[in-house]
Amino acid sequence: MSYTLENSIGYQTNLVATMLKTSFTKLLQPRFGIAAEQFATLKIIDEDQEVTQTQMAEMLGKDKTTVGRSIESLIKKDLLKREDCSLDKRANRISLTPKAKEILEQAVPLAHKVNEAIKAKLSEEELESYFRVLDIILQESKNFEEIIGEK
């Protein structure tokens, strides 16, 4: 089989991810003034108040600089606050503001509803297979040099 965008794992995965992100942003933006990636950043911090910027970057598939800019944007929107860490004066602790907590209270059920609606179109076996395949693709995407014999 020849290589086309139609049969490209990377292209098709990116297409789906972009469509999900764009569609979810269209729901979030008018209601809460945030994009899908900003929602993800808030949700990550909500779930783990000790998460570092490096860990967030890894979880979001972004570099630390991009995550740093996103954090700054969320601080300007009064959704995050930065505080000095009492144990390490060089470190900062990022936490949610009350405004961010309010947004998450309303946005999380929306995200859940969208997620469940998509999952309802799939059987349990398809869903398990989907996540298994995504995990394989994720792991293999970390080894491109090895795959093409340059490592």
pLDDT digits (tens, 9 = 90+) for 46-77: 999 888 888 899 999 899 999 999 999 999 99
List, for residues 115-148, the tens digit of each pLDDT value: 999 999 999 999 999 999 999 999 888 888 787 8
Residue 28 and residue 104 in contact, taking contact as beta carbons nearer than 8 Å: no
User: What backbone phi and psi angles, to 5 degrees, belong to 90?
Assistant: -80, -20
d(CA 88, CA 85): 5
Band (pLDDT 50/70/90 cuts) for residue 149 is: confident
Q: Give the domain ranges of the chain.
A: 5-120
Q: Domain 5-120, what fold?
A: Arc Repressor Mutant, subunit A (1.10.10)
Residue 92 has pLDDT above 60, yes or no: yes
Q: Directed axis angle between helix 36-47 and helix 64-76, to 10°?
A: 90
What's the whole-number average pLDDT of the chain?
Answer: 91
pLDDT confidence of residue 114:
96
Q: Which amino acid is at 32?
A: F
Chain centroid offset of residue 98 CA = 21
C-alpha triplet 142, 147, 149: angle, nearest 5°: 125
Question: Model pTM?
Answer: 0.86
